[in-house]
């Protein structure tokens, strides 16, 4: 199917948005797993206090992933002429 000459090809932006969403989903799954592991450790009242730095790092990664999704969605909307 040929694109009209006055419309931008949005395949690259669509792919970027798909990839950003996949990355965000992966980071959130990792975050959930780490939070669950910490929760179990605290509930077991283990003598060793778990290191929460991995959780903090994943929270930061989740924020960055969310920003990447927002930016990719904005780029796609702009390419489609939907951005006001």
- 60 CB-contact burial (10 Å; exposed 0-12 / middle 13-18 / buried 19+): exposed
Integer Cα distance of 51 and 27 in angstroms: 19
The reported pTM is: 0.76
Report in angstroms the alpha-carbon separations of 32 from 5, 9, 62, 63: 45, 36, 11, 14
Domain assignment present for residue 84? The answer is no
What is the reported pLDDT for 43? 84
Given this model, what pLDDT does residue 64 score?
A: 97
Q: Tell me, yes or no, whether 38 lies in a domain.
A: yes
In a domain, 74, yes or no: yes
The per-residue pLDDT string of the chain (84 residues; one tens digit each, 9 = 90 and over) reads 454 544 568 999 999 999 999 999 999 999 999 888 888 888 887 666 667 788 889 999 999 999 999 999 999 999 888 865
Residue 5 belongs to some domain of the structure: no
Domain contains 25: yes
Assigned domain for 62 exists: yes
Residue 40: the pLDDT is: 85
Number of structural domains found in the chain: 1
In a domain, 2, yes or no: no
What range defines the domain where residue 38 resides? 11-44+51-79
The Cα 75–Cα 20 span in angstroms is: 12
Residue 51 is classified by DSSP as P
């Amino acid at each position: 199917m040929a694109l009209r000459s006055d419309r931008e090809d949005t395949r690259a932006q669509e792919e970027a948005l798909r990839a950003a969403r996949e990355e965000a989903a992966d980071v959130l799954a990792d975050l959930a797993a780490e939070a669950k592991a910490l929760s179990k450790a605290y509930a077991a009242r283990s003598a060793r206090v778990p290191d929460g730095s991995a959780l903090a790092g994943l929270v930061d990664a989740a924020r960055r992933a969310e920003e990447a999704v927002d930016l990719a969605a904005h780029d796609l909307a702009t390419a489609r002429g939907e951005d006001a």
